[in-house]
Amino acid sequence: MLKSHSLRTAVVAGLATLTLSTPVLASDEPIKVGMMLPFSGVYGALGDATRNGLKMALQEQVSRLHGRKIEYIEIDTEARPERAPEIASSLLNNSEADFIIGPVHSGVAMGMLKVLRGKDTVMIVPNAGAGPVTGPLCAPNVFRTSFSSWQPSYPMGNVALDKGYRKVVTMSWNYGMGKESLDAFEESFTAGGGEIVKKILVPFPKTEFQAYLSEIASINPDAVFVFFAGGGAVKFVKDYDALGLKGKIPLLGSGFLTEGTLEAQGSAAEGVLTTLHYADTLDNELNGQFRASYQQQFGKASDIYAVQGYDTGLMIASAVNQLSGDISDQKALIRALESTMVRSPRGDFTFSSAHNPVQNIYLRSVENGENRVVEIAAPALADPARGCKL
């Protein structure tokens, strides 16, 4: 089936070439893929995984690239927002990159957008969840293959209501991603009749949680919903357990609470419920294949960041294939990207009109040091994309 399809597109492409007076030289020049990812520092591991996934996908899809070679231009952003505009404009003007992939960090995303919105290149965000990217600041040439910060947290409100929780304390660091996550949870939770009895915003990157947890214990709510990631997530989950709250007040979180942190959290994370657009243990054929070949190629386990990079690669390959290798017409390229259905290890997803994935959000529970999928918390969930006029 796939073969006959590509044969047909090849024939169509061949005919198209014949009808043109000048031969298409598309295949001579490589497709330039610029990367703006953190390859060093705190987010270094995330940047590496994204790059690995991206390259792996484009290698697997080589037959769909119509002979076009890929040239990678990799630049380390060090996750520093102030450097973003300069790097982005260098990739745009000097390297003339066809695609600019990045970033991991939402602050860097804002700097990139300032330069790249509406320009003659396609920006694909493989991680940063900042709402405005596919909200008020959305643009025809900007796509996202990861999530909006609203997406993973919104379904947890309904999960909490289903479990009979009515009074919940929410808590996160006082920064964009954290606040957007708490707001999304609050939106669905209060709409269903739940009450946020206290919202705690901790100065970033403070990890002294003991005072706040003592206060939560004295409030004794039905459940606690939090957003923390990385080292802060490790510390929070360990403190929550150590201070005795874990067995008594259920802990809910945006999926990043238990992503890449489970080994460090140890037994303290057992039973924590989170929602996210992926889980390593997701039981489908593609995910199994993906994880096995990633492990084989890079000698370590894949993670969500590798999946997001991989899907970015799939998306590029699909668009190049739809256009038979000729991506010179930006409008046609954007249409091709918009109509792509990505067959991802996280499950198939499409793009909303604001260019954000319309995807399943899974409810996961930590069991034996793994995020086990309990159920689909929200099927094919689209971000409301408030403020986007696309």
Partner 1 sequence: MTTSLFLVQLINGLQYGLLLFLIASGLTLVFGVMGILNLAHGSMYMVGAYLVWYFVEHTGSFGLSALISAVIALLIGILMERTLIRQLYRRNHLDQVLLTIGMIFVFNALQGLLWGNDPLGVAVPAALSSAIPVTDVLEYPVYRIFVALLCVGIAAVMYFMINKTRLGMLIRAGESNREMVECLGIDIRKLYTIVFAIGVMLAAVAGVAAAPMSSIVPGMGEHILITCFVVVVIGGMGSIKGAFIAALLVGLVDTFASVLVPQLSSMMIYILMAFILLIKPQGLFSS
Note the residues at the interface with partner 1 (CB under 8 A): 40-45, 200-203, 205-208, 210-215, 217-218, 220, 230-235, 238-239, 242-245, 248-249, 260-261, 263-267
Which lies closer to partner 1 via its Cβ, residue 23 or residue 203?
203
Q: Which residues 6+ apart lie within 8 Å of 286 measured at CB?
A: 343, 344, 345
Strand order of the β-sheet with 99-101 is 70-76, 31-37, 99-101, 122-125, 142-144
Nearest Cα residue to 275 out of 150, 128, 165: 150
Nearest Cα residue to 131 out of 166, 157, 100, 106: 106
Q: What SS3 class is residue 174? A: coil
Task: Find the shortest distance in angstroms from Cβ 268 to partner 1.
Answer: 8
Which lies closer to partner 1 via its Cβ, residue 171 or residue 381?
171
Which lies closer to partner 1 via its Cβ, residue 202 or residue 388?
202
Q: What angle do CA 107, 147, 169 make, to 5 degrees?
A: 85
Q: What pairs with residue 361 in β-bridges?
A: 378
User: In the chain, what are the helix, strand and coil shares in percent, each to the nearest 5?
Assistant: 45, 20, 35
How far apart CA 232 and CA 172 sit, in angstroms, is 10
How far apart CA 379 and CA 75 sit, in angstroms, is 36
Which lies closer to partner 1 via its Cβ, residue 228 or residue 351?
228
How far apart CA 192 and CA 265 sit, in angstroms, is 32
Which lies closer to partner 1 via its Cβ, residue 241 or residue 383?
241
The radius of gyration of the chain's CA atoms, rounded to the nearest angstrom, is 22
Which lies closer to partner 1 via its Cβ, residue 274 or residue 321?
274
- Please count the other Cβ atoms lying within 10 Å of the Cβ belonging to residue 273: 23
Which lies closer to partner 1 via its Cβ, residue 267 or residue 339?
267
